[in-house]
């Protein structure tokens, strides 16, 4: 059951403070009371504004009460069909041997297929910035899921009992209330730790709103007449390549006293060494040290994590009327009684609570202020958390890397206090920049409220995706033989960027997935997108002759083939950028889409992202030889009959790596057509007119083949020969979609736009509407009879990132409402029904299952924003393209089937055949 926040009007904040609270539904609805799935969404009047020194729209955000539970319990996928099990038996045998070799070393696996990660339904907006490491937050309060080791997310780490905020309330020199500001639950094993602390804050009195990169937690303490709002801010700011790299988050506490008496309120911030992982709990020596710098007071905790030096810094701003006290030692694994009693005695902490231990240490900082009766604390209580871990290494421990922020601050331990001071004096400016960035979307009257939440909250992955951002090191130029001068110059200016495919698919910059996700970087930090593209360009010619037996087909081949785009740049448990292609499920040298996606992305970055004429020309001259080689290689290796169109060879030789394609396929064929078209354009721009003519002739032949082999009058068949050959594939026009994001005219030249329109109609009416009653995005494959294609694993999945991309495709075609309705499904399912917020999975099934939480591809939601800006005049609030958009959720209104075909539920189809041959 999904709980709603339905406080009585008299229980809400008063005055300006009311505007800091989240509303009482999961996101802000329009001003009508609505019924939804048996629950009431209450809405009265217009949304308010937040009062944080400036005004900003609050018409979006993911909302939860502290006792909220998912509507539906989901688990990782574990129920393949009998046919799918039979097909997978050779793989299972080969992979099992590999898996058994890594008993006790599971982190070294690039994918742990047999032990998939299970989601945790209480995640909130993570702390951190791009590539600085991340620290997770439980929306009920508390810190969890540390991602400080490069490329590793410690998802199994629950809320740490020692890493908390504590409130102490005193009246007339006596403590009347003291609790940890968290409603998180703890495992029985944690019961004896800090047993003196009171963790009983009522979950129903806690309300949360997340709008990345900020979050608001509201604590209602009626017995004291207090309301407290904790605002979390991380400086994730578009086009800011300095502040967005800093390892810090700020927490601002605003307090309102609704009682008739004066109250002394203390907020204490406590933290311990390590990350909660048992291996680093008592690793190395721990040392604490105090610091002061003008109005900033703090405590540093020096320790190590996996042998890498790390300094946590807790700091607070000294304001008029507030007293700051610091504790530099308490036992984080003891009862916590001495520190608890110090707070209870005076509302302050003392220098030493417990004698410091050698390898475990907790520190705390407390701010106490007086709040007059029926008033709001004039100066909020402000804390900064910094994690200074400047020099890191991957699992192989062969090389060290400096995080990007060291370019500006250096690597010395004192950097932690410098960043602390900067954070507490700069966060107001950060917030102003964040508001300016988000306001055009949040204030737009014709954009659905769910989208206003989704577009920003899905960016969590750029912080919490095992992201790394390193400062250039001259040693790379001789350690990495593929590194070009062009790329080295970019790395010197902007650093090296990488992120995981998924928390459990541990591969850096997985390129077939990044193709979709790249719109987030292209829109917000284009220099980082350019860095990735340049480095991938370098790796095309690079090869690794080491012979590998690949798990799926069992074939032997080089780990990295020359003239192939790498699948990924390595496993963080090894040595990324040197040991590439960690993905050894398939020989990706045979994949058809990687090279073509690279060609298309190169053209986009050249034609759209490079604004300076000389800069554009230099990039084209750098990339063109590689583009040309890839097209030539495609014609040589993949066009077996010489008709200009490439074929698939009966394997899962593309990003749908469990869905076999045989012969000409809609997905790879559309990518080939689009890649040929942009290659013609680049050849013309570079001055190679004969090459342009040759590829244009090839394109004309390929277009005829694509239509004659696949077009059936309504859509393009999945392929020619596989079991899914007649399936309606959601991503069948991937190449056309991507090319249209760059140049609609060029897209219209590769496939007849009328055929595109008909195919999209079919996809919407079948893959979207007939899947989960139209409430979960577009299933990958749907049979012509309206049943889900279950011939192969992945055909029956809904891929969140593909549904977002498809939504942007609808928008580009002028079908804006269809686009929003398609994208709403995966967001609503993940964030509001299944407890998968801030861990969006790669795939959802119609019932029971998900696959691969914390995934890269959902960043493709920024393709929607790209399309709205370029096709719908988003900057104009009176845009004619958006005037008919319905801002309420699709399940609050009727979704009629355009073709009058009855939607088939999972129960209806459970016993039926879904093969194309029988349809």
What pLDDT score was predicted for residue 907?
36
Question: HSE-up of 450 (CA within 13 Å, CB side)?
Answer: 21
Q: Is the pLDDT of residue 463 over 90?
A: yes
What pLDDT score was predicted for residue 724?
97
Least confident of 88-97, 555-564, 783-792: 88-97
Angle at 700 between CA 695 and CA 703, to 5 degrees: 120
Q: Which two tokens stand for residue 380?
A: 């909020």
Query: For the residues 581-606, what does the mean pLDDT come to?
Result: 97
Q: Is the pLDDT of residue 688 over 70?
A: yes
Query: For the residues 385-403, what does the mean pLDDT come to?
Result: 97
**In this structure, are residues 402 and 471 in contact, taking their beta carbons and an 8 Å threshold?**
yes
Q: Out of 435, 463, 493, pick the residue that ends a domain.
A: 435
pLDDT top residue among 144 and 49:
144
Inter-CA distances, 201 with 124, 168, 370, 431, Å? 18, 12, 22, 29
Q: Is the pLDDT of residue 33 over 70?
A: no
Backbone angles phi, psi at 57, to 5 degrees: -65, 140
Please tell me what DSSP assigns to residue 403: B
Distance CA(385)–CA(34), nearest Å, equals 41
Do the domain assignments include residue 151?
no
**Spatial CA neighbour of 303 closest among 272, 278, 276, 331:** 272
Model confidence at 105, pLDDT cuts 50, 70, 90, reads confident
Summarize pLDDT for 215-224 with one digit per residue, the tens: 999 999 999 9
Distance CA(304)–CA(74), nearest Å, equals 36
Do the domain assignments include residue 874?
yes
Least confident of 545-549, 695-699, 794-798, 913-917: 913-917
Neighbours of 231 (CB within 10 A): 22
Distance CA(373)–CA(116), nearest Å, equals 53
**In this structure, are residues 532 and 499 in contact, taking their beta carbons and an 8 Å threshold?**
no
Question: Which residues 6+ apart lie within 8 Å of 444 measured at CB?
Answer: 452, 874, 877, 882
Residues 555 and 643 in one domain: yes
Summarize pLDDT for 777-834 with one digit per residue, the tens: 999 999 999 999 999 999 999 999 999 999 999 999 999 999 999 999 999 999 999 9
Q: What is the mean pLDDT of the chain?
A: 90
**In this structure, are residues 765 and 786 in contact, taking their beta carbons and an 8 Å threshold?**
no
Q: What is the CATH number of the domain that holds 698?
A: 1.50.10.10
Distance CA(71)–CA(776), nearest Å, equals 14
Distance CA(441)–CA(92), nearest Å, equals 47
Distance CA(98)–CA(105), nearest Å, equals 11
Query: For the residues 39-49, what does the mean pLDDT come to?
Result: 29
Q: Is the pLDDT of residue 1 over 90?
A: no
Q: Is the pLDDT of residue 187 over 80?
A: no
Q: Out of 390, 413, 435, pick the residue that ends a domain.
A: 435
Q: What is the CATH number of the domain that holds 309?
A: 2.70.98
Residues 266 and 310 in one domain: yes
Residues 365 and 264 in one domain: yes
Do the domain assignments include residue 104?
no
Residues 604 and 633 in one domain: yes
Do the domain assignments include residue 256?
yes
Query: For the residues 437-461, what does the mean pLDDT come to?
Result: 96
Q: Is the pLDDT of residue 672 over 50?
A: yes
Residues 464 and 492 in one domain: yes
Query: For the residues 656-673, what does the mean pLDDT come to?
Result: 97
Distance CA(391)–CA(396), nearest Å, equals 15
Query: For the residues 235-256, what does the mean pLDDT come to?
Result: 98
Summarize pLDDT for 475-518 with one digit per residue, the tens: 999 999 999 999 999 999 999 999 999 999 999 999 999 999 99
First to last CA, the chain: 38
Model confidence at 570, pLDDT cuts 50, 70, 90, reads very high
Q: Which two tokens stand for residue 287?
A: 């040392």
Residues 416 and 516 in one domain: no
Least confident of 83-87, 627-631, 729-733, 848-852: 83-87
What pLDDT score was predicted for residue 250?
98
Instruction: Give me the number of domains the chain comprises.
Output: 2
Distance CA(470)–CA(405), nearest Å, equals 8
Distance CA(661)–CA(734), nearest Å, equals 15
Residues 761 and 788 in one domain: yes
Residues 191 and 320 in one domain: yes
Summarize pLDDT for 605-615 with one digit per residue, the tens: 999 999 899 99
What pLDDT score was predicted for residue 4?
31
Do the domain assignments include residue 85?
no
Place of tokens 């609505």: 34
Backbone angles phi, psi at 377, to 5 degrees: -55, 125
Counting residues of the chain whose pLDDT is more than 70, the rounded percentage is 90
Do the domain assignments include residue 338?
yes
Residues 652 and 747 in one domain: yes
What pLDDT score was predicted for residue 281?
78
Q: Out of 435, 456, 485, pick the residue that ends a domain.
A: 435
Do the domain assignments include residue 430?
yes
Query: For the residues 109-124, what does the mean pLDDT come to?
Result: 94
**Spatial CA neighbour of 75 closest among 137, 111, 118:** 118
Summarize pLDDT for 531-541 with one digit per residue, the tens: 999 999 999 99
**Spatial CA neighbour of 791 closest among 690, 886, 900, 718:** 718
Q: Which two tokens stand for residue 645?
A: 């169109």
Model confidence at 279, pLDDT cuts 50, 70, 90, reads confident
3-class secondary structure, 459: coil
Structural domain including 449 reads: 444-892
Query: For the residues 99-104, what does the mean pLDDT come to?
Result: 84
164-171 vs 263-272, strand pairing mode: antiparallel
Residues 724 and 747 in one domain: yes
pLDDT top residue among 277 and 587:
587
Backbone angles phi, psi at 191, to 5 degrees: -60, -40
Distance CA(359)–CA(274), nearest Å, equals 10
Residues 309 and 425 in one domain: yes
Summarize pLDDT for 841-879 with one digit per residue, the tens: 999 999 999 999 999 999 999 999 999 999 999 999 899
Q: Which two tokens stand for residue 245?
A: 């790299």
Do the domain assignments include residue 116?
no
Peptide bond connecting 314 to the previous residue in cis, omega within 30 degrees of 0: no
Model confidence at 5, pLDDT cuts 50, 70, 90, reads very low
Residues 725 and 602 in one domain: yes
Distance CA(61)–CA(610), nearest Å, equals 33
Model confidence at 29, pLDDT cuts 50, 70, 90, reads very low
The 10 Å CB-count burial string (b at 16+, else e) for 876-890 is eeebebbeebebbbb
């Amino acid at each position: 059951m999904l709980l709603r926040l339905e406080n009585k009007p008299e229980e809400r904040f008063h005055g300006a403070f009311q505007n800091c609270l989240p509303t009482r539904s999961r996101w802000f609805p329009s001003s009508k009371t609505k019924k939804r799935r048996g629950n009431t969404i209450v809405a009265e009047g217009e949304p308010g504004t937040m009062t944080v020194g400036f005004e900003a729209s609050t018409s979006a955000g993911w909302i939860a009460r502290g006792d909220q539970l998912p509507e539906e319990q989901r688990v990782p996928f574990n129920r393949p069909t009998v046919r799918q099990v039979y097909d997978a038996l050779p793989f299972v045998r080969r992979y099992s041997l590999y898996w058994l070799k890594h008993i006790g070393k599971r982190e070294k696996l690039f994918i742990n297929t047999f032990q998939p990660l299970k989601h945790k339904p209480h995640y909130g907006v993570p702390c951190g910035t791009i590539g600085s490491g991340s620290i997770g937050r439980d929306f009920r309060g508390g810190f969890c899921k540390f991602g400080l080791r490069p490329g590793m997310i410690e998802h199994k780490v629950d809320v740490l009992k020692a890493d908390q905020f504590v409130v102490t309330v005193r009246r007339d020199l006596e403590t009347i209330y003291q609790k940890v500001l968290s409603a998180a639950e703890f495992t029985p094993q944690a019961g004896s730790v800090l047993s003196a602390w009171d963790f009983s804050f009522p979950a129903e009195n806690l309300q949360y709103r997340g709008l990345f990169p900020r979050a608001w937690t509201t604590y209602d303490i009626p017995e004291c007449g207090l309301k407290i709002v904790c605002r979390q801010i991380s400086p994730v700011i578009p086009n800011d390549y300095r502040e967005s790299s800093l390892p810090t988050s700020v927490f601002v506490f605003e307090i309102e006293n609704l009682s008739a008496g004066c109250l002394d309120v203390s907020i204490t911030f406590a933290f311990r060494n390590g990350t909660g992982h048992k291996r680093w709990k008592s690793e190395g020596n721990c040392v604490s040290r105090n610091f002061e710098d003008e109005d900033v007071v703090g405590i540093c905790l020096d320790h190590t994590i996996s042998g890498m030096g790390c300094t946590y810094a807790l700091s607070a701003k000294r304001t008029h009327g507030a007293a700051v006290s610091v504790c530099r030692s308490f036992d984080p694994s003891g009862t916590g009684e001495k520190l608890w009693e110090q707070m209870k005695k005076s509302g302050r902490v003392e220098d030493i609570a417990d004698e410091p231990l050698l390898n475990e240490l907790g520190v705390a900082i407390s701010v106490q202020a007086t709040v007059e009766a029926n008033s709001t604390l004039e100066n909020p209580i402000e804390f900064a958390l910094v994690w200074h871990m400047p020099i890191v290494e991957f699992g192989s421990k062969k090389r060290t890397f400096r995080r990007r922020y060291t370019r500006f601050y250096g690597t010395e331990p004192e950097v932690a206090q410098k960043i602390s001071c900067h954070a507490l004096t700069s966060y107001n400016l950060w917030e102003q920049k964040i508001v300016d960035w988000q306001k055009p979307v949040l204030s737009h009257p014709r954009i659905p409220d769910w989208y206003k939440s989704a577009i920003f909250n899905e960016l969590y992955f750029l912080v919490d995706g095992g992201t790394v951002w390193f400062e250039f090191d001259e040693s790379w130029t001789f350690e990495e033989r593929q590194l070009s001068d062009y790329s080295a110059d970019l790395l010197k200016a902007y650093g090296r960027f990488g992120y995981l495919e998924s928390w459990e698919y541990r591969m850096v910059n997985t390129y077939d997935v990044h193709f979709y996700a790249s719109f987030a970087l292209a829109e917000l930090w284009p220099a980082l997108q350019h860095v990735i593209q340049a480095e991938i360009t370098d790796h095309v010619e690079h090869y690794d002759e080491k012979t590998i037996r690949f798990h799926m087909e069992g074939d032997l081949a080089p780990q990295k083939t020359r003239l192939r785009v790498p699948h990924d740049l390595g496993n963080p448990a090894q040595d990324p950028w040197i040991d590439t292609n960690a993905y050894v499920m398939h020989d990706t040298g045979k994949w058809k889409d990687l090279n073509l996606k690279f060609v298309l992305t190169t053209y986009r970055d050249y034609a759209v992202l490079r604004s300076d004429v000389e800069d554009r020309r230099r990039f084209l001259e750098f990339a063109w030889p590689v583009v040309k080689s890839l097209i030539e290689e495609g014609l040589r290796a993949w066009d077996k009959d010489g008709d200009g169109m490439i074929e698939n060879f009966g394997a899962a030789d593309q990003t749908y790596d469990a869905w076999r394609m045989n012969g000409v396929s809609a997905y790879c064929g559309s990518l080939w057509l689009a890649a040929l078209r942009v290659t013609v354009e680049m050849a013309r721009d570079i001055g190679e007119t004969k090459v342009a003519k040759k590829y244009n002739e090839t394109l004309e032949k390929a277009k005829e083949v694509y239509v004659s082999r696949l077009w059936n009058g309504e859509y393009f068949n999945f392929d020619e020969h596989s079991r899914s050959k007649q399936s309606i594939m959601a991503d069948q026009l991937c190449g056309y979609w991507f090319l249209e994001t760059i140049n609609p005219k060029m897209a219209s030249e590769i496939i007849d736009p009328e055929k595109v329109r008909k195919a999209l109609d079919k996809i919407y009416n079948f893959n979207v509407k007939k899947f989960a009653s139209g409430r979960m995005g577009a299933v990958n494959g749907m049979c012509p009879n309206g049943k889900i294609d279950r011939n192969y694993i992945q055909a029956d999945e809904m891929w969140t990132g593909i549904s977002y991309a498809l939504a942007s495709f609808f928008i580009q075609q002028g079908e804006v409402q269809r686009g929003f309705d398609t994208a709403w499904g995966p967001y609503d399912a993940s964030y509001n029904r299944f407890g998968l917020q801030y861990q969006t999975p790669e795939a959802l099934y119609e019932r029971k299952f998900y696959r691969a939480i914390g995934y890269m591809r959902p960043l493709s939601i920024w393709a929607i924003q790209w399309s709205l800006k370029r096709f719908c005049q988003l900057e104009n609030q009176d845009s004619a393209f958006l005037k008919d958009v319905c801002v309420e959720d699709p399940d609050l209104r009727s979704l009629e089937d355009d073709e009058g075909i009855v939607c088939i539920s999972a129960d209806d189809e459970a016993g039926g055949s879904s093969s194309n041959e029988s349809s």
